[in-house]
């Protein structure tokens, strides 16, 4: 009978020890799972942020492409005008080399007209240079 009581005591002790070990393991597993869940939530938030930023970058790139196409069309539209002005300027230069005798006010008016054409020509060149630089920057942006 004493043996039976000792066996019951050993079984009770074993049951308590097993219960404590199980609770400890459950606690550690639960703690590990919570850490994994926190990391997953953080990664999901980062992924959402990256998706949002990528969408913004794609929208910006689409806008830049649209502007580039518009600029290219404008350059194509302006090329004949610039060409025509260059032809006019060359014609004026040729006329200046064979200038008939004229009085001073006529020469001053002609020179004033030529200077105005030169100024406009220079402004157009500056604008076209700016457009070309803008296109180059957009092309480099698209390449990236």
Helices 2-97 and 104-143 meet at what angle, rounded to 10?
160
pLDDT tens readout for residues 51-102: 999 999 999 999 999 999 999 898 888 888 888 888 888 888 887 776 566 6
CA distance 134 to 65: 12
Give dist(CA 7, CA 14) in Å, integer. 10
pLDDT at 11: 81
Average of per-residue pLDDT values in the chain: 85
Dihedral of CA atoms 97, 99, 104, 106 in degrees, nearest 10, equals -110
The more confidently predicted of residues 67 and 130 is 67
> How far apart, in whole angstroms, are the C-alpha atoms of residue 71 and residue 77?
10
Tokens 């597993």 locate to 29
- Say if residues 101 and 126 touch (Cβ distance below 8 Å): no
- For the full predicted model, state whether its pTM sits above 0.85: no
């Amino acid at each position: 009978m004493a043996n039976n009581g000792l066996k019951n005591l050993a079984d009770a002790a074993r049951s308590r020890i097993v219960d404590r070990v199980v609770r400890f393991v459950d606690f550690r597993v639960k703690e590990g799972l919570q850490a994994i869940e926190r990391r997953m939530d953080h990664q999901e938030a980062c992924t959402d942020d990256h998706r949002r930023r990528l969408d913004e970058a794609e929208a910006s790139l689409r806008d830049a492409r649209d502007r580039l196409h518009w600029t290219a069309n404008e350059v194509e539209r302006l090329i004949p005008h610039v060409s025509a002005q260059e032809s006019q300027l060359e014609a004026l230069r040729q006329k200046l080399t064979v200038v008939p005798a004229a009085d001073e006010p006529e020469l001053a008016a002609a020179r004033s007209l030529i200077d105005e054409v030169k100024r406009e020509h220079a402004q157009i060149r500056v604008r076209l240079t700016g457009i070309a630089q803008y296109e180059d920057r957009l092309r480099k942006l698209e390449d990236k």
